[in-house]
Amino acid sequence: MRISTRGEYGVRAMLDLALHGRKEPVPLGVIAARQDISESYLEQLISVLRRAGLVVSFRGAQGGYQLAKSAKEITIGEILRALEGPIAPRKCVDEKESSLCTQSERCATRVLWQKLQASIEDVLESTTLAWLTNEAEKIAAAVGEQR
């Protein structure tokens, strides 16, 4: 399984909001510049994240985006599912596509893919945006950078 740039950039944008949007909304252009992401591409991602209930938008001169809920309440799994769809290492363990495999009932490797999927989901569901924010702050402190 590979996370696309869509998922990577979405996680980075959400991390940026967690780090910089606590007190006031962050304009899209500021996030795009800080994260080195095309503003038009980021706009598409933020739109998906907003529809998923992960970010809220504010209009006007002081407008921008903020997290829709606490960083402690947002998991990396939620972000990736909103942007990437189901998290499955193989189609045979994806609920929507598992019926496409004619061997699934007698396939020993499917057990491996299910185990891998469970492990991935455990990590993504137990990793919150707050944890990632803490890691980013530790790294910034270690390299003498202000976030």
pLDDT per residue over 8-22, tens digit each? 999 999 999 999 999
Listed residue (35, 27, 25) closest to 5, CA to CA: 35
Q: What's the structural domain count of the chain?
A: 1
Is 50 inside a domain boundary? yes
Is 88 inside a domain boundary? yes
Q: What global pTM score does this model have? A: 0.87
What integer pLDDT is reported at residue 81 of this predicted model? 94
- pLDDT at 92 > cutoff 90: no
Is 105 inside a domain boundary? yes
Is 95 inside a domain boundary? yes
Burial 22-56 (b: 16+ CB within 10 A, else e): eeebbbbebbbeeeebeeeebeebbeebeeeebbb
Would you place residue 110 in the very low, low, confident or very high pLDDT band (cuts 50, 70, 90)?
Answer: confident
User: What's 103's domain CATH number?
Assistant: 1.10.10.10
Range of the domain at 32: 5-142
Return d(Cα 107, Cα 113) in angstroms, integer: 10
Is 99 inside a domain boundary? yes
Is 147 inside a domain boundary? no
Contact yes or no for 79/10 (Cβ under 8 A): yes
pLDDT, tens digit (0-9, with 9 covering 90-100), for 64-81: 999 999 999 999 999 999
Is 138 inside a domain boundary? yes
